[in-house]
Amino acid sequence: MLRGIYGSAAAMLAQQQRQEMLTNNLANANTPGFKADQASLRSFPNMLIQAVNTSNMKTGSDIVGSLATGAYLQERTPNFLQGDLQQTDNNTDLALLQGTVPVNEEGRQGALFFTVQNSDGEVRYSRNGNLAVNGQGFLVNSQGFYILNTDGQPLQVGNEEFRVDREGFVLTENGEPLGQIQVALAEDPMLLVKEGDGLLRLTEEGELPTAIGNGQVAYQIQQGFVERSNVDSAQTMTEMMSAYRNFEANQKVLQAYDRSLEKAVNEVGRIG
């Protein structure tokens, strides 16, 4: 009976974690460049039940069967599929339109990212192209972090009157070059983890290689557009209802076990 309680509680915890993930996805449905998380639910290993003291039994076997021991949320992985583009007509808004990207040995398609320098001087990656120009004339993201050029330096544009071509070259109104926006290639996007504020960091040492000059990669940068979140709001709402119902069902099972245990303790052993 206690195993049943533990199994129901584990399932409730897994559904609660899944609900929190889905809630976060829905809350970021309008965040530019946001990548929805996906949950991987797994079951704990089954236990093989074997009867004891069966020497006098005529069944010929002491194997009772297997017992499930509950489920858990194994991992949360981002979905790096391209989001829809939204036209804003703002010069500082840039959308990274992913075209041809190589597929790695494990069958995962690579992904492209803007390269960002955070407040600690560390390199991070982002798909959020909702940018701005700070007081020193540098191109920054919504947190004020620098957008890097191909030299690994903050990109200085002076003011908002600049142009960006499809390859990421930044030009003044007069056509003078200011640099090229660095685009990084993650051959295995699963090596990136979310850090908050739309940023991702590499779990390994070093930095992602550049996509510029890679013959296997094709992309475009669209000025005056932003990439929308790839969250499917309708599907997310459906999954949230499913998670809630699964949580509720396991809660009822847990309550039934609790009532049975209470009866066993308070009534079965009572002497009349």
State whether 74 and 100 are in the same domain.
no
pLDDT at 271: 56
pLDDT band at 90 (very low <50, low <70, confident <90, very high): very high
State whether 117 and 133 are in the same domain.
yes
What's the whole-number average pLDDT of the chain?
Answer: 87
Q: In this predicted model, what pLDDT tens digit does every residue of 110-132 receive, in sequence order?
A: 999 999 999 899 999 999 999 99
In three-state secondary structure terms, 123 is strand
State whether 30 and 133 are in the same domain.
no
State whether 99 and 70 are in the same domain.
no
State whether 70 and 174 are in the same domain.
no
State whether 118 and 243 are in the same domain.
no
pLDDT at 92: 95
State whether 103 and 167 are in the same domain.
yes
**Containing domain of residue 8, as a range?**
2-78+231-268
The residue written with tokens 């669209």 in the block is 222
pLDDT at 270: 62
State whether 189 and 151 are in the same domain.
yes
For the entire predicted model, the pTM comes to 0.80
State whether 111 and 200 are in the same domain.
yes
Q: In this predicted model, what pLDDT tens digit does every residue of 24-83 receive, in sequence order?
A: 999 999 999 999 999 877 666 665 666 666 665 555 556 666 656 667 677 788 999 999
State whether 91 and 140 are in the same domain.
yes
How many domains are contained in the chain? 2
Mind giving me the DSSP string for 153-173?
SBPB-SSS-EEE-TT-EEEET
Q: What is the dihedral of CA 108, 109, 112, 115, to 10 degrees?
A: 10
In three-state secondary structure terms, 184 is strand
State whether 222 and 90 are in the same domain.
yes
pLDDT at 50: 66
State whether 119 and 221 are in the same domain.
yes
pLDDT at 76: 83
